[in-house]
Structure formats: structure tokens, C-alpha cells
Chain A
Amino acid sequence: MRIGATAADRRLLPEGRLAGPMPWVIAIMIFLTALAAAGGMAMGASADRLGGDLGRRITIQILNPDPARRDAEAAAVTAAIEKESGVLAVNRVGADAMRALLKPWLGDVGLTQDLPLPAMIDVDLSAAGRARLDAIVAAAKAAGPDVHVDDHARWIAPLIGLIRSLGLLAGLVVALMVGATAAAVVLAARSALDTHRETIEVMHRMGATDVQIARLFQRRIALDALFGGIVGLIGATAVILTIGAKLAAIGSGLVGSVSLPGSAWLALVCMPPLAGLLALVVARATVLRALGRSL
């Protein structure tokens, strides 16, 4: 499919680019589409990160009030867990770290030396390890009767589900925007056909094929869409960077995990050319369909 027209062909349609509202409509569409896509991709990445970081971690607590027996049990459980396949790392949370975690709630007065704190062991699992979680828990319980296992995936699953739902919603919005953009191109192509009806009629009478005529329109509409796409993407990028900076400033672990990966930026950069390509294909189909109804 030849996309463009020669310089002489291009003179057949007199209006310069940006003559109508189409580029600006496309700019608004791409602006909203890019925001929705960025939101969806950031949420998808966030859900993956949460599922990877926290969903494959378990924390084992040894709930024995006797410090000596608690330490012995912790050592036995640690040794037993380390032998299990699928276990990436086993880290016992130190007493100082435990006290630092509790200090905001209990203060210096509440954190006495005789306060019975459980021994805590963080266990990072591989995907395969996650699949044999029951066996790992059984091994831990066999090594220490006072073991309590806290599976992070259990409490984070609803949050990940929510994030993924929002991501899917963003994907739906993107799909609707693509449809709306295509509809805008159809209207623009029909309007252009109507404006240049006389020229088309003369060209037809002289033996121009439908494809020759469609080529005149598809190139212009594609360039208008490309321009609108670039404008829309610039606006969306400014908004995304501003929101990203504000999220980063919050500093919360969960909120801070919402960020846009490099592949998502690449996808956003591809939007204007894709809008141009979509406009080209839709304009061509619209013009050919309209011309096909004439003699």
C-alpha cells in the first residue's frame, strides 16, 4: 500500500494541515488515552511488584515467652528452612530492629527489657518455593512447635486484585478512546470528502482510481493525527511526571511502588505514530467505502 502522494498530488487538496478541528480532537484523545494507559501500566507494574516483593515472602514468628527456648527454636527453624528448596533468603529480624518497629506504638517506657517479643524470621521464596509453601511451613513447624506463619500473600491479595481491576479499567478506557479516535477520523474523512466532492468528481471522470483518491486523503489525515498525537502526548507526559513526583514525595511504601517502568514509557512514545497509522487505515477505508458507492 503506497501511503503518500506526490507533491503535485498533494496540491489537489488545498487546505493546509491543522485546518479543521481533527488534530485538536486527536490531541485530546491521545492526552486522555496516554493518561489512562500510563495509569493502567503503572498499576500493572505495581501489582507485579507487590506480588513479587511481598507476595513471595512469609514471616515466621516463634511465640515462646522463654527467651532461651525461643532463640533455640528460631535457630532450629532457620536451619530447617534454609535446607528447603525454593527458599531464597532467611533473615531473622534482630531485637534492635524489632524494638525500632514497635517504638512508635509503645514508646521508650513500654519497651522494657522483659517485654516478651516473638522471634521473627523473614523468608523470601522463589516462584517454585511459593508453590511448595505447605511443605516449607510443615518443615518450620516440625523444627519448632511454637511457630506461627504469616503469609504476606494472603493479606496483599485483595489489594493486588483491586490494583489489577483498576488496571483493567484503564485498559478498557484506552480501548474506548481508540474507538472514539477512529470515529473522529471517520467523521473527518467524510467531511473532507464532502468538501472536495467537486475535485473528486473531476478526478474520477479523468480515470482516477479510488485508491489514487484515497491516497490524497489518508496522508493528510494521518499527518494531522500524528501532530495531534504528539501534542496530546506532550501534555500527558507533563501530567504523568507531575503526578509521579507527588507520589514519590509521599514516601509510603505502597503508594511509592506506583511508578512507570521503561517499557511503559516506550509504549507511550509509540502512541502518536500509532494514532497516525490508525488514522491512515481508517481514513483509507472510509474514503474507499464512500467512493465505492459512486459510479
Chain B
Amino acid sequence: MTGIVQFENVGLRYGTGAETLSDLSFSLAPDGFYFLTGPSGAGKTSLLKMLYLAQRPSRGSIRLFGEDVVALRRSRLPGFRRRIGVVFQDFRLIPHLSAFDNIALPLRIAGVDERDLVTPVREMLAWVGLGDRASARPPTLSGGEQQRVAIARAVIGRPEILVADEPTGNVDPEMAARLLHLFDALNTLGTTIVVATHDIHLLSRVAKANVMRLDRGRLADPTGALRYPPKPDFGAEHLA
């Protein structure tokens, strides 16, 4: 049994500067729920970028879905990326497309027939409370509405891994709770969830979630909870 994500001694350096991320070693369980926290500049977004294959590490090994992706040929990356949903911190909605078309984009990229994508996209729009804004373009939506469209776009394809960078930063507490509930439901269906957040209140909202804390480019894992499968003595340490 192996983790769906495995980092081994991963380091990331931009240009010739010091390493932004150093010696990252962790494994994420196939049905795990993880919060990634840490102060600004700790490297959370950089870590997420490597996770959703937007950045290759400078050193170390990354395995996704059981395959080493560090040396993966470019032509094979799209197949992996389609299995990963991403909620960007700045949403990255396509401004000239309607909310419907933005959410439908991953399905169209995956080659889903137009007739087959209308119902799921409309359901997703309704779920995030934007059923009546299907034809609205992002510039006409509020920040919170844009964020919900971004989340709907990330989850519409039922990804195996969902990576979200500050997904509740622009929504009210009620909507934040609904979004976490959506993530939780996806997690129950088997999606591994990784949510980067500054919001310490969020961490207590999902009881089963593990917390990954980054500080100055290093990942703290004092209990070994970020090892999958866990260390054999993990439970004993906790009981002690």
C-alpha cells in the first residue's frame, strides 16, 4: 500500500537563490484530508505547485498515483493533471467565459460530450449557490462568487486529488462551511484533499483532517502523521 502522493527529500530552488523548500518528505493517503498551514512566505504555494505539476522540484523524488513524475515526459503530464483539481488563490477564471463555461472547461478538455456536461455543470452551479448566474462572466461576479466558480471548476471532474490554495479567503463563514462540507463529501468519495489556509479556525472544522505545517521551507511532522502508511510505532507514540 502506497500513498497517492509521495515526496522524498524534495527541494525547490528558484534560480540560484537559497532553497525555498528543503527536504520535504511525506506521503498522503488516498482518502486523506490535509490542511497545509504556515506563515506567509513559508512555501505553501510552491509546494502546491509541485503537487499539481506546475513546477518541477530541484531535487528529490515526487510520486503521484504510484508514478515518478519528476522525470515524466511533458506529453504524459496532461493525463496526470486531469486527475488533479486545483483551486487557485487568485481563482484564474477565464474572464470572457460565462460561469457555466468556466466550470465546464475541465470536462471539455477531457473530451466530454456537450450533451453530457450540461446537467453536471448546472448541478454544480446550483450546489455552490450560483444556479441563476450561469451566464454571468467573472468580472460581473463578486469575489466570493468567483471563488465558488473556481471551486466548482476544480471539483466538476471528480478529481482524485483536490488542491486548494486559500479556498475560503473570500467567502462568508456560512459559505466557507458549505465549501468545507463539499470538500468533506468529495473526501468521503475517495478524493484526497489538500487545502492551504491561513485560517486557523478552519482547521477545527474537519475533525479527520491532518495538518501539514510549513515553516521557512521545511515541513514539520513531529508525530509522523504525514507518513503513509504510518510508522509502525506511530500509534504507540501517540498513546504514550
Contacts and interface: CB of A to CB of B under 8 A. Distances in A.
A267 interface: no
A295 B104 CA distance: 23
Nearest to A208: B109
Contacts of A208: 78, 109
Contact of B114 (A6, A209, A295): A6
A209 B78 contact: yes
Interface residues of A, number: 21
B96 interface: yes
Interface residues of B, number: 27
B54 A295 contact: yes
A205 B114 contact: no
B40 interface: no
Interface in A173-202: 198-199, 201-202
A204 interface: yes
A2 to B, nearest CB: 12
B81 A205 contact: yes
A207 B52 CA distance: 10
Contacts of A209: 75, 78
B55 interface: yes
B14 to A, nearest CB: 14
Given A207-B81, A212-B109, A295-B74, A8 B104 contact: yes
Most buried by B among A8, A9, A11: A8
Contact of A292 (B55, B56, B74, B114): B74
A207 B92 contact: no
Interface of A: 6, 8-9, 11-12, 14, 198-199, 201-210, 212, 292, 295
27 contacts: A6-B108, A6-B114, A8-B104, A14-B96, A198-B92, A198-B94, A199-B94, A202-B92, A203-B105, A203-B109, A205-B52, A205-B81, A206-B81, A206-B82, A206-B106, A206-B109, A207-B80, A207-B82, A207-B106, A207-B109, A207-B110, A210-B74, A295-B53, A295-B54, A295-B55, A295-B74, A295-B77
Pick the 9 closest A-B CB pairs, nearest first: A207-B82, A207-B81, A14-B96, A207-B78, A208-B109, A206-B106, A209-B78, A202-B92, A206-B109
Interface of B: 52-56, 74-75, 77-82, 86, 88, 92, 94, 96-97, 101, 104-106, 108-110, 114
